[in-house]
Structures are given as C-alpha cells and as structure tokens.
Copies of this chain bind each other. A is one copy, B any other.
Amino acid sequence: MSTVSPVGPANGYRRIATEEAFVPPELHRMYRELVASGSVDDPGFNSLIGYYLGHPSERARNVSERLQDIGERRVADMDSAGIDMQILSLTSPGVQVLKRDAAVAMARLANDQVAEAVRRYPKRFAALAAVAPQNPPEAAKELERAVTKLGLKGVIINSHTLGEYLDDPKFSPIFEAATALKVPVYLHPNTPPKKMIEPFLESGLDGALYGFAVETGLHALRLIVKGVFDRYPDLTVILGHLGEALPFWLFRLDYMHRGTVSSGRYDFLKPLKKKVSDYLRDNFYYTTSGMASPPAITFTQSVIGMDRVMYAMDYPYQYVHDEVRVQDALALSAADKKAFFQTTAERVFKV
C-alpha cells in the first residue's frame, strides 16, 4: 500500500473523506440502457445521468471513468490529494430509479463489490450500503446483511425514490434496521422528482447547482416535521454540502414551524417533542462535500456544534487538491481539526 503524501506538512490527523461516490460498471451499463430507452419516468435522472454518460466534455468523461474505479486509480488519486480514507457510497440516484426487483438485486451487487474493495484496501476504504427503498422489507434485510456480514458502516439514500420520501411510514423498516444496527443514514442529493423539477430543469438549475440542495433539504425537513425522529429518537442522519443550507435556516424553521403547528394549519403536522433546530443539532451530522468554503464551514460549526461537522471531498465530482489545503488551513484548534478530518468520522462510521 502506498503511503499518503500529505498535501501540507504532516498534520497529526488522518483525512477521512466521507461522501465519496462509486458506481459498479454493471449499474453504469444499466443506466446507459435506461437513458437510451427513456424508460425511467424521471426527467432529473435523464438529464443528469444522460449528461455524465453521454456528454463529450472532459468533465463528464472524467467523472464517468473515475466513478467506476474502486481500486488502484482511486487510491492513486487519494494519495495525490492526501486522502487517507474514503467512505464510499453508491452514486446518486443509486438503484432508486430501477424496477423493484432489479433494484434489490443491484443493491446486493453494489454492496458485494464495494465490500470486496474494502477487503483489498482496509485502511483506505470503508463503505455505506446501498438499498432499494422500492422494497422496504428487502432494504432492511440488505442493510442488515451489509452491516453484519459485509462490514459496511451505514446506508446511503439518494433522496426521493421516484417521487417518494422516507417520511412515508411504509419506509419504516429502513429506519428500524438502521437504529437497531446503530448505523447512520446518509441522505444524499438527487435531482428533484418529476412533480417538482420543471422550473429547475428549464433553467439548468436541476442538479448540483441548486436542485440537489433543495430536494435534499426538503427531504430532511420532511423527516423532521412528519415526526420520524420522534418515532426513532436514536436515528442518525448525515447531510452533505454542509446540511444543504438548513443550518442557515434554524431560526426561521423554529419560528414558522411553531406558528404553523400551533395554529393547526395542517391536520397532518402534529406537535413535535422538540424544536426543528433541536433535531438538526441532535440527530444530524454534516459534511463539507462540495463546500470548501471556510466562512460556510465555520458558520455551520458555530450554529450546529463543532463535533457534528466532518470533512468530505465529493470525489470524483469535485476532485480539487486545493480544496483539501483550504480545509487544512481552517482556523481550528489541533483537537478540533483532528475531529473535523478524522475522529468524528471514526465515531460516526465506527472505522
């Protein structure tokens, strides 16, 4: 195994990057068929995946190639950027656009494949499980298998599943399994669903530019206001991109939620045990994927808590060495810096 060459001077911490994407070549091929046939009724999928699979630009080709490598090339990239470990997860939208049985099978394949990469590079990789929310009981079973048999460290959900959100009680088996296994749920962006995407798509704002943030912020808030964390108080959810801006909104979320619930505006919005901001502080962790922005990182640490913000790169979508240096240079104590890059991730993912 090659030694990590630190980007800066030796720092006294390992850099664990916590939102790093891969795709099995088998799923990549399946995406290609789905885009070509137009058989997935999800304009965001066709726009986003169509772009990465078919566009002649260097960016699209680069991402497409690197996503499929969880071996030597990736480790070389990590060495070059100074990343000690990646927490691997199946790229968005994962298996969540496939038909039910194909999704279940592909999640197993992805988990077996990534577990094999972890076995080959145990010091460089850990991984989250993919599951098929299309079949909640099977998703729960697969999560259990992935954690107990394959040694995976949690589960990634790429936001909505063809327009469905995890606050629907039918998805409870997934939260039951995650809390029973004591592993986190990484709620990763997806493009907004068909019933929401049009004003984003017609202005090119459907993807990582803005639609991702809105879709995932909405999903996280749906979990909170629909009472998921009152039903599963030990549930841990991780958000990338510094919480999709929800840390910015804490004050307004509390004010407007209180007013909305106390006036009984919506029958289905019941009072919660805690304030919206309490859940965002107590049940969520945040990573810096795509947000190598010191003011935004410092702000999030200050309103959420130093021990809940972790480093992430967002490889291969955002593979920029300078962004590691910028975060190395954050104005933090040595202990807080080590927590940010290493020890919080070690605790949350048990690596």
Given A55-B264, A57-B262, A210-B253, 11 more pairs with CB closer than 8 A? A59-B262, A160-B199, A163-B199, A165-B203, A196-B196, A196-B200, A209-B253, A209-B260, A213-B249, A251-B293, A252-B291
Give chain B residues whose Cβ lies under 8 Å from the Cβ of A296.
Answer: 248, 250-251, 299, 303
How far apart sit A284 and B196, CA to CA, in the bound complex (Å)?
A: 27
Known: A59-B262, A245-B249, A269-B204. A290 touches B209 (CB 8 A): no
Q: Cβ of B195 and Cβ of A221 under 8 Å apart?
A: no
Is there an interface contact between B204 and A265, defined as CB atoms closer than 8 Å?
yes
Q: Chain A 237-276, CB within 8 Å of chain B: the 1/0 string?
A: 0000110010111111101110110111110110000000
Give 29 pairs: A residue, B residue, CB < 8 Å, sorted on A. Answer: A57-B264, A57-B265, A59-B263, A160-B199, A165-B203, A192-B199, A193-B199, A195-B198, A196-B199, A196-B200, A203-B225, A204-B269, A207-B260, A208-B252, A208-B256, A209-B221, A209-B256, A210-B217, A210-B218, A210-B221, A210-B253, A247-B248, A248-B299, A250-B296, A251-B296, A252-B291, A295-B302, A296-B299, A296-B303
A205 at the interface (CB under 8 A from B): yes
Distance (whole angstroms) from the CB of A282 to the closest CB of chain B: 18
A262 to B204, CA, bound (A): 13
CA–CA, A86 and B198, complex, Å: 36
Report if A203-B167 is in contact (Cβ < 8 Å); known contacts: A252-B291, A264-B57.
Answer: yes
**Can you tell how many copies of this chain the complex includes?**
2
| Residues in B neighbouring A262, C-beta threshold 8 A | 57, 59
Q: How far is the CA of A299 from the CA of B294 in the complex (A)?
A: 11
> Which A residues contact B (CB, under 8 angstroms)?
51, 55, 57-60, 160, 163, 165, 167, 192-193, 195-200, 203-205, 207-210, 213-214, 217-218, 221-222, 225-226, 241-242, 245, 247-253, 255-257, 259-260, 262-266, 268-269, 290-293, 295-296, 299, 302-303, 318
User: What residues on B are CB-neighbors of A203 within 8 Å?
Assistant: 165, 167, 218, 221-222, 225-226
In the bound complex, residues from chain B placing their C-beta under 8 Å from that of A249 are 210, 213, 245
Asked if A222 contacts B251 (CB within 8 A), the reply is: no
**At the interface, is chain A mostly helix, strand, loop or mixed?**
helix
- List the B residue with the shortest CB-CB distance to A206: B266
Partner of A55, one of B57, B265, B299: B265
Q: How far, in angstroms, from A266 to B226 measured CA to CA in the complex?
A: 36
Across the interface, do B210 and A263 meet the contact criterion of CB distance under 8 Å?
A: no
Which of chain B's residues have a CB closer than 8 A to the CB of A226? Answer: 203
B residues near A160, Cβ cutoff 8 Å: 199
* C-alpha gap A59/B257 in the complex (Å): 13
Q: Closest residue of chain B to A167, judged by CB?
A: B203
Q: How far is the CB of A64 from chain B (nearest CB, A)?
A: 12
- The smallest beta-carbon distance between A188 and chain B, in angstroms, is 15
